[in-house]
Chain A
Amino acid sequence: MEERKILLEEEDMPDKWYNIQADIEIPPPLHPATLEPLKPEDMEPIFPKALIKQEMSKDRWIRIPEEVKEIYRIWRPTPLYRAIGLEKFLKTPAKIFYKWEGVSPPGSHKPNTSVAQAYYNAKEGVERLTTETGAGQWGSALAFACRFFGLKCTVYMVKCSYEQKPYRRILMQTWGAEVIPSPSDKTEFGRKVRQEMPSTAGSLGIAISEAIEDAIKHENTKYSLGSVLNHVVLHQTIIGLEMKKQFDMLDLKPDVICGCVGGGSNFSGGIFPFVPDKMKGEEIKFIAAEPMACPTLTKGIYAYDFGDTAQQTPLLKMHTLGHDFIPPAIHAGGLRYHGDAPLLCKLVDEGIVEARAYYQNEVFEAAKIFAQTEGFVVAPETAHGLKAAIDEAIRCRKKKEEKVICFVNSGHGHFDLAAYDLYNNGMLQDYEYPEELIREAIQRLPCI
């Protein structure tokens, strides 16, 4: 009998995060005003010292505090599943695995970092955290974490998601967070955007600007980001570290690891612990899957850009579609971000990670196949990584290769059923990024 779930005991949960900055070097973030490399004190208005230290650390291993592990134990270690039903359906000789992060209370991988961030902030006497959220996964993860460390939580939620996904808003409110549709009239930047674009759908870039402004302008308030930054990605490496242990239990090594990329944290968390193996010469393929509507890694340029629309954040060297690009409101709201984690971008730039972009309909088709063969209904974001895994498994069938494929199943889709409904009724549009025309349009913009 083939094992379906590979489970770790609670005591087997890793006690350190893996910091890839010990093994790869990225260009430093730049101060938005001086364009000089950012100093730790530049970040102090928005982040606690412990997280700034992690952001810049070169230590390979960073200890996970006992208090964080205690909360992690609510759902961690998470199971690694063998997708036997999907393999049969695809008639592939490949073995497909998925690391199931949807078992956390907020239903995604996001609390891996929100719990850590809430802990460090609380420890340094912070009283309130502000943040932004797209689909609501990050916002609910932070609302959940703040509750456990006695912090107040204010979430700026991208307006189209706020309206499309009321259940996530309710979830956040149930954990005690204040949820504000962005752009809002609570911040100067929000008011400005509303005046210029009264019926904008909002974007992550705009919501980030609002959350940062709120944090800077209020005492004992810090800001928390759910992706992109080094310390966020660091906390997510617990995914890959557990995966490694689980594959060891099976005496297997993954040949391919796939995951969806919005800001890049779940994918990075999954693959980073395997990157040193690849750098040592092991053959392992990493596939980052993103939406055609916001194809940052496949169509963006690798350059310094702001992390937010209002140009308040440090400049990060990353793949970017431009900080003022507002992606269409696709249903994988969590993947609507113009940039990506600089650490991941570096790996893409060096060819260690391969990126692919997919259309909404093919992604939902993959999600439906998964629901019908494995049972779990995954989030539209997650389904991008799943689509890449399915494509790989089909390739294995054609080439008769018995590869081991794994994807990071980052969250469930129970709050995304309206999108499934549209897909089931043939009403989903295949958005894409008109690259050539955008280039032309940019050339014709007046120089600033």
Chain B
Amino acid sequence: MHIGFVVNPIAGIGGKVGLKGSDDVEEALKRGGTPVAPAKAAEFCKFLDANVITCSSTMGADYIDGKIIYKTPKKTSADDTIKACRKFLKHGADLIVFVGGDGTARDVYNAVSKKVPILGIPAGVKMYSGVFAINVNKALEIVNAFMEGKAERVEREIMDIDEVAFRQDTLKIKLFGYALCPAIKNFLQNGKRIFGGENEAKRGIAKFMALICKEGTYVLGPGSTVKAIADEMGIEKTLLGVDIVENGKIIARDANEEEILKAIEGKRARIIVSPIGGEGFIFGRGNQQISSRVIEKVGIKNIIVVATPQKLMQTPFLYVDTGDRSLDKKFAGWISVIAGSGIAIRKRIVI
């Protein structure tokens, strides 16, 4: 069992100095920023007892005794994370643990996609992705469980925002894909026992919702849970985009805001979305095409939220961020999330 361990040494540098990421290191340093990653990496490594493959100096070996298979340059970049992870794969890593934020998660994902599970130790400025452990202790627990064969593999979102736009106060968050992520079985396993795993639950949701979607116009949000509904209907839906289905046929694929508005003009439509696991956003993260204008046109009561019980168990509350605060406020309260065939779970939307 080999654990690949990589640190983005500058992760978190932009946080306290008012930058919304660490893409602009020069600016962060100028403002007196210090990275968060080294302390987190040290804390994690202090208690880790594993066969580790890692990088030299600041990207790994400064914190842990491991086999060094990637030489860290003086000035690191995203490219180094990607190259290091590729080397980990070549050396037969069973799991890659990284210290960083969303940008690092994306780099790791770009290098390994779903070949091995990945786990993030949160040290970034923003962490919208679902691959992060809650904290260092939890990360250790998960890694130990993984090594003992007591963890399961779940799909989690890789999300990131456009930092240039973000610094100008425009929040654009994109879903980049799904990574494999180890998760501890204890509570999850309960879910697994009951529902036969997340895929079984997804099938239940898909079967039930496919019956509903046979008639009418539906705006289908991104993500694998919603895609499963389209699959059940025999429709080819994009995984990461917003598609529109009418009376069982697809009428728009990967639609933007204007295209959605046009497609639902004068019709009674419904929106089907799934929250981001852990994070809990149902609007405003990865599905901004479904804008406040679209939501207002469709009406809140015509929104159907779907999610597996496993995902909901890890998601204490749901959130919306449509960019229109007065619209957001109308979501406050309980919502019935479809979690299986004829099964719902009520969750609270917190504003």
- CA–CA, A164 and B197, complex, Å: 15
A125 to chain B, nearest CB (A): 41
Q: Indicate if A447 sits at the interface (CB-CB under 8 A).
A: no
Interface residue from B195, B200, B208 paired with A329 (Cβ < 8 Å): B195
B137 to chain A, nearest CB (A): 16
Inter-chain contact A163/B193, CB cutoff 8 Å: yes
Q: Indicate if B340 sits at the interface (CB-CB under 8 A).
A: yes
- CA–CA, A430 and B336, complex, Å: 10
Sorting the interface of chain B by its residue count into under 10, 10 to 19, 20 to 34 or 35 or more gives 20 to 34
For A173-198 the 0/1 string (1 means CB < 8 A from B) is 00000000000000000000000001
For B332-351 the 0/1 string (1 means CB < 8 A from A) is 00001011111111110000
Inter-chain contact B346/A432, CB cutoff 8 Å: yes
Q: A160-B194, A429-B313, A437-B338 are in contact. Are A444 and B214 (CB under 8 A)?
A: yes
Interface residue from A164, A199, A293, A440 paired with B343 (Cβ < 8 Å): A293
- CA–CA, A433 and B343, complex, Å: 6
Complex interface: chain B residues within 8 A of A164 (CB): 190, 193-194
Complex interface: chain B residues within 8 A of A149 (CB): none
CB closest chain-B residue, reference A325: B342
Q: Indicate if B269 sits at the interface (CB-CB under 8 A).
A: no
Inter-chain contact B312/A429, CB cutoff 8 Å: yes
Inter-chain contact B344/A201, CB cutoff 8 Å: no
Q: A201-B196, A326-B341 are in contact. Are A441 and B346 (CB under 8 A)?
A: no
Inter-chain contact B345/A431, CB cutoff 8 Å: yes
For B302-334 the 0/1 string (1 means CB < 8 A from A) is 001000010011001000000000000000000
Inter-chain contact B187/A444, CB cutoff 8 Å: no
Q: A198-B196, A199-B196, A444-B211 are in contact. Are A430 and B346 (CB under 8 A)?
A: yes
Within 8 A of B (CB), among A397-448: 422, 425-427, 429-434, 437-438, 440-441, 444-445
For A223-250 the 0/1 string (1 means CB < 8 A from B) is 0000000000000000000000000000
Sorting the interface of chain A by its residue count into under 10, 10 to 19, 20 to 34 or 35 or more gives 20 to 34
Q: Indicate if A45 sits at the interface (CB-CB under 8 A).
A: no
Q: A201-B194, A329-B195, A422-B187 are in contact. Are A441 and B345 (CB under 8 A)?
A: no
Q: Indicate if B65 sits at the interface (CB-CB under 8 A).
A: no
- CA–CA, A175 and B263, complex, Å: 65
- CA–CA, A160 and B340, complex, Å: 16
A157 to chain B, nearest CB (A): 14
Complex interface: chain B residues within 8 A of A163 (CB): 193
For B189-225 the 0/1 string (1 means CB < 8 A from A) is 0100111110010000000100110110000000000
For B154-187 the 0/1 string (1 means CB < 8 A from A) is 0000000000000000000000000000000001
Interface residue from A427, A434, A441 paired with B336 (Cβ < 8 Å): A434
Within 8 A of B (CB), among A129-174: 160, 163-164
Inter-chain contact A445/B196, CB cutoff 8 Å: no
Q: Indicate if A200 sits at the interface (CB-CB under 8 A).
A: yes
Complex interface: chain B residues within 8 A of A427 (CB): 187, 313
B155 to chain A, nearest CB (A): 18
Inter-chain contact A429/B345, CB cutoff 8 Å: yes
A346 to chain B, nearest CB (A): 26
Interface residue from A292, A325, A444 paired with B212 (Cβ < 8 Å): A444
Interface residue from A160, A325, A359, A425 paired with B346 (Cβ < 8 Å): A359
Inter-chain contact A431/B211, CB cutoff 8 Å: no
Complex interface: chain B residues within 8 A of A426 (CB): 316
Looking at A200, A292, A328, A422, the one whose CB has the most chain B CB atoms below 10 A away is A328
Inter-chain contact A429/B309, CB cutoff 8 Å: yes
- CA–CA, A200 and B343, complex, Å: 14
Complex interface: chain B residues within 8 A of A430 (CB): 345-347
Complex interface: chain B residues within 8 A of A429 (CB): 309, 312-313, 339, 345
- CA–CA, A432 and B211, complex, Å: 19
B203 to chain A, nearest CB (A): 10
Complex interface: chain B residues within 8 A of A425 (CB): 187
Complex interface: chain B residues within 8 A of A433 (CB): 342-344
CB closest chain-A residue, reference B348: A430
A269 to chain B, nearest CB (A): 30
- CA–CA, A427 and B197, complex, Å: 17
Inter-chain contact A434/B344, CB cutoff 8 Å: yes
A415 to chain B, nearest CB (A): 16
Complex interface: chain B residues within 8 A of A445 (CB): 211
B226 to chain A, nearest CB (A): 15
Complex interface: chain A residues within 8 A of B347 (CB): 430
Looking at B187, B200, B208, B345, the one whose CB has the most chain A CB atoms below 10 A away is B345
Complex interface: chain A residues within 8 A of B187 (CB): 422, 425, 427
Complex interface: chain B residues within 8 A of A198 (CB): 196
Q: A427-B187, A444-B211 are in contact. Are A432 and B336 (CB under 8 A)?
A: yes
Inter-chain contact A328/B208, CB cutoff 8 Å: no
Q: A429-B309, A445-B211 are in contact. Are A438 and B342 (CB under 8 A)?
A: yes
Complex interface: chain A residues within 8 A of B190 (CB): 164, 422
For A211-226 the 0/1 string (1 means CB < 8 A from B) is 0000000000000000
- CA–CA, A437 and B342, complex, Å: 8
Complex interface: chain A residues within 8 A of B211 (CB): 440-441, 444-445
- CA–CA, A258 and B341, complex, Å: 31
- CA–CA, A199 and B190, complex, Å: 13
Complex interface: chain B residues within 8 A of A293 (CB): 343
A/B interface sample: 7 pairs, CB < 8 A: A164-B193, A431-B346, A437-B208, A438-B342, A440-B211, A444-B212, A445-B211
Q: Give 9 closest A-B pairs by Cβ, nearest first.
A: A199-B196, A329-B194, A434-B344, A441-B211, A328-B343, A430-B346, A432-B344, A429-B345, A444-B211
Known: A200-B196, A431-B344, A432-B346. 4 other contacts (CB 8 A): A201-B194, A359-B346, A437-B208, A437-B304
